[in-house]
Structure 1
Amino acid sequence: MTRRSPARLWETLAAEQPGRLGDPSVFKSLITDATWPSFTVTTKEPTFFEPGLPAR
């Protein structure tokens, strides 16, 4: 894990509060299994959200 990753933040916070934030070390060997792709859409065009509408 990189030094500035969200996982590193989790490790730091979990170390400060043992037992309250889970155990981030469990996921170190399963990085690809513990992540998922995501995306954000910013649009004013409803076509993306309403299947069946013709594209303009």
Structure 2
Amino acid sequence: MGISQEDLAERCGLHRTYVGAIERSERNITLQTLERLAESLGVSPHDLLKEHQDV
């Protein structure tokens, strides 16, 4: 989406290192955090959970 981890963290009220750890699969998140991330990105929580497939 072209935004930094820092920008995403600010949008959803999380610390940037926590967002980085989520992206690297180093942290498990709650459903509430999943919803906050999805809302901040303008996608559904389902979109964040489905496996990415390169086209």
TM-score (norm 1): 0.22
Relative contact order: is structure 1 or structure 2 higher (C-alpha 8 Å, sep ≥ 6)? 2
Structure whose CA Rg is larger: 1
TM-score (ref. length: structure 2) = 0.22
